[in-house]
Structure 1
């Protein structure tokens, strides 16, 4: 129980730090994401944020210790198809976790299917602690660098279906909504 409380506290602290950093960047105090203070589009009603929800993750090699992973994230849309944000999730072992990231998307990368896009995010993940600390590479005190490639299909200007590749461990299925 102490480990879960500690993980929850650190995950919440990382998410709070990410939100604080984003707020400071927007106020012009820090330039964490160059262009953060500029909207992704000059259109007045253009979406500025994107929310992601994943109800299902498939592990390539199932393990009796694996639990279902649920994830939510919020991203700020930036010029040139860039974004930055944070995610809260429970990891494969039921530990509260967080991910602070920056990323880039390439919409319409395949001319025959202009609704398809690819993207990649990179950042710091927290949450694999205790007996599960070796389940992610380069883990130091529960913090690890992460790169997550994704492919998605734009259903409308505001919504998508997306698949994220979680290294050699799993694939995450989700949906996004822009607002």
Structure 2
């Protein structure tokens, strides 16, 4: 990795950490009792670390990167609200960062472990000739909404993440209390 790339990565991660901190502060400001559902000291609030394992574009192109190298961290409250940040290489192999907040809905007893999740956030990283590949990317940062469906067994999870009409990515995660 070139020194300039390392500096850029560090700058992107620092920005995401700051944005994630703001999102977490907002997400955790719901209750006054810190042991209430999802408060920062709640026994079931947890951190989730995730990485990508497989990506498939719906309309493959030789320009597409199918190895996103996603690293994501999110704080999930037991009331379903979450906030996090992710670093990955986008479909055109450009380093990208995402700061997000969202909501997770766990299934009932009919499908134990299954859940739906929707996050929204700000995405940075689509540049140059690929700048217009993501809508509303006017200042180098674009708003995104990302739905996913997942399955959790113990501390482990598997998610299928839909990125617009472009493709799907599978991720694995591990929860830390």
TM over 0.5: yes
Which residue in 2 is equivalent to 1:33? 27
Shift of 1:133: 0.4
In 2, Cα distance between equivalents of 1:13 and 1:122: 22
Which residue in 2 is equivalent to 1:150? 148
Residue segments in structure 2 that go unaligned for 5+ positions in a row: none
Change (3 A) 1:94 1:145: same
Contact 1:73 1:86 in 2 (8 A): yes
In 2, Cα distance between equivalents of 1:19 and 1:43: 22
Alignment RMSD, CA only?
2.6
Choose which of 143, 157, 172 in structure 1 pairs with 2:169.
Answer: 172
Structure 1 residue 102 and structure 2 residue 96: aligned? no
Cα deviation, 1:38-74, whole Å, max 9, x if unaligned, reads: 4736654x45211111122100000011112221100
Contact 1:35 1:78 in 2 (8 A): no
Residue segments in structure 1 that go unaligned for 5+ positions in a row: none
Shift of 1:23: 4.7
Q: What is the total number of aligned residue pairs between the two structures?
A: 167
Contact 2:58 2:166 in 1 (8 A): yes
Which residue in 2 is equivalent to 1:127? 125
Change (3 A) 1:143 1:116: same
In 1, Cα distance between equivalents of 2:107 and 2:173: 17
What does 1:1-179 align with in structure 2 at a 5 Å threshold? 9=8, 12-23=10-21, 31-35=25-29, 38=34, 40=38, 44=43, 46=44, 48-68=46-66, 69-109=68-108, 111-156=109-154, 158-179=155-176
Normalising by structure 1, we get a TM-score of 0.81
In 2, Cα distance between equivalents of 1:120 and 1:56: 20
TM superposition outliers: structure 1 runs of 4+ over 4 Å: 21-26, 36-39, 41-44
In 2, Cα distance between equivalents of 1:137 and 1:151: 23
Shift of 1:95: 0.4
Name the SS for the 2:26 alignment partner: coil
